[in-house]
Structures are given as structure tokens and as C-alpha cells.
Amino acid sequence: MLNIGGPVRITDYGGEGSLLLLVHGLGGSTENWNVVGPDLSASGHAVALDLIGFGDSEPGDRRPSVEDNARLLAEVIQLLGYERATLIGNSMGGLISLITAAEHADRVERIVLVNPALPVSRRHPPDFEVLTKLLGPLVPGIGVPAFKAYRASHSPEEETTETLRMITADPSTVSDFAKRSLTEANRRRRGRDWVIPAFLEADRSIARYVLRPRRYRKLIHRIGAPTLLIHGAEDRLVSVDSARWAASERPCWQYVEMANVGHVPMIEATDLFVSTVSEWLAE
């Protein structure tokens, strides 16, 4: 556990060489990387962290916005004794990685974007269920009661099952080990009064980017670090159209599209994900 204005939980998967900092998405935690973390350690020193307001990183006086968490990444890199790191970020973690690379370029060596939060595609926006779960809580007076009602009527195991149904192309591809890790993370979140407000504030901060394509375009054109963009073609949260747009905006980035994969390739297609990332890092 690190102390950067408050607790920051990390999971160290070991490895030698340059730092690989693994950054989870909205509602996630270090458990999202438990399946692939040990394998990624063959390519560097792999460390995952709980962002402010997630996992075991209680926010306290800190804010869980994407901008504040970008500053946190820069501080974690320094506190771990490195000048720079490769950021590997999924979903919200991808957006945070981009902001870190733009605002703290001296701390970022390379970036791996894994189904990052991207501007909403007009041709293929998220389906109704996804919109309801992501945007519904942002309506004033609805978010906190809705979350409390959901968790009161669903066990941690049921929450994991429903989440995987929404974020994966085929939940049967997820290992039992991954399901147990995610369920344990869900269980630990219960009873913490800061979890829901932190989720909502982080969600609002994401919306300020994904609902403003011009702002997002300016952000990605500020990135100078070598970048690998990985995207599951069956993602229901972030359309593959959005990933293709980002790849066309930045043709110098390497773009890998994974067929029959949803929003979390590192959980759904672990072998393919590890080999794709490891080969790119080796280059």
C-alpha cells in the first residue's frame, strides 16, 4: 500500500526492467489484471493499482476524476523509483493513461490502450442496457439510490455474472479464477459509503471527454509516446467504430482489433492479449 495523499493499493506481479503500470477501468480494481499480470511480468516490472475511489484506495480528501487519477499515475511512477513507465490502461484507465501522457509526458515511455473510453459513435452508440447503466446514474437524485437498490437485491456473485454478461462477448471464456477475483472485489466494496459517490464522480469526468469529440481529438493529438491500441470488435460499451476513428486520427499508432472479444480482452482472451502486448513491447 502506497501513501499519496491517502492510501493507494498496488498489486506487484514482479518482473524486471521497465515499469508496466496496469490501470483498471470504471468500477474496477487491481483484480482486473490478476489473470494476465504474472505473464506480463516477463516483459517488465508489472504493477497494478487501485485508482482513487476504487478498490481499496479510499478517496478521503482526494477526487476520483480522470484528471486527478492521471496526476496519481505520475506520482506512483516516481514513488516506485522509476523515471518513466509504460501505461497499460483499460476503458477509463485508457483515458487516464492518455491524460497522463499529455500532461506528464516526461513520465510516460509507451502506452497500451485496451478498449479505452472513446467518443461515442453516432452510427453505433451503446445499446439501451449499457446507456441505462452508464448514464442513468448520472441523473441527479437517481444515482445513489439506484446503486443501493441494485446491491441490496444482488449478491456479489450475481453482480459479477451480470457485469461479465455486459462487458464480455462470451462470458464462458472467462476463467473461474478471474470470476472469483472479480467477485471478491465486489464483496469488499459492499458497506463502503464512499464507493458509489466516487463511481459517479469518475463517471461524470469520463462523460466530459467521450461526449465532446473535439476535446478528445485534441487530447490524442498531444500524445507523443509510442502507442498500441487494442480493441475488442464486439464491445458493447465502446463501439469498435470509435476505435477505428482513433486509429485513423493517429495512423502512427499500432491498431489491433480482436474478433469475438468484448470490452475486457485481458479477461476474455488472455493468451491473445498477453502475446499481442508482449510482442509489441519487444519491438
Looking at the chain, the whole-number percentage of residues with pLDDT higher than 90 is 81
Average pLDDT of the residues of the chain: 92
Read off the pLDDT band of 69 (50, 70, 90).
Answer: very high
Read off the pLDDT band of 120 (50, 70, 90).
Answer: confident
Largest CA distance in the chain: 50
Least confident of 79-83, 207-211, 252-256: 207-211
Measured distance CA(283)–CA(278) in Å, rounded: 9
Q: pLDDT at residue 49 above 70?
A: yes
Cα separation values, 243 from 145, 234, 256, 258, Å = 33, 12, 10, 12
How does pLDDT run across 148-159, given as a tens digit for each residue?
Answer: 676 777 899 999
Q: pLDDT at residue 111 above 80?
A: yes
Read off the pLDDT band of 26 (50, 70, 90).
Answer: very high
Average pLDDT over residues 268-279: 98
Looking at the chain, the whole-number percentage of residues with pLDDT higher than 70 is 90
> Which CATH number covers residue 137?
3.40.50.1820
What pLDDT score does 144 carry? 65
Average pLDDT over residues 137-145: 64
What pLDDT score does 124 carry? 66
Give the chain's domain count. Answer: 1
Q: With helix as H, strand as E and coil as C, how does 215-248 read? A: HHHHHHCCCCCCEEEEEECCCCCCCHHHHHHHHH
DSSP the chain: -EESSSEE-EEEEE--SSEEEEE--TT--GGGGTTTHHHHTTSSEEEEEPPTTSTT---TTS--SHHHHHHHHHHHHHHTT-S-EEEEEETHHHHHHHHHHHH-GGGEEEEEEES---PPPSSSPPPHHHHHHHHGGGSTTTHHHHHHHHHHHS-HHHHHHHHHHHH-S-GGGS-HHHHHHHHHHHHHHTT-TTHHHHHHHHHHHHHHHHT-HHHHHHHHTT--S-EEEEEETT-SSS-HHHHHHHHHH-TTSEEEEETT--S-HHHHSHHHHHHHHHHHHH-
Average pLDDT over residues 1-14: 96
Q: pLDDT at residue 140 above 70?
A: no
- Domain span at residue 241? 2-282
Q: pLDDT at residue 226 above 80?
A: yes
pTM of the entire predicted model: 0.94
Compute the C-alpha angle 139/159/95, nearest 5°.
60
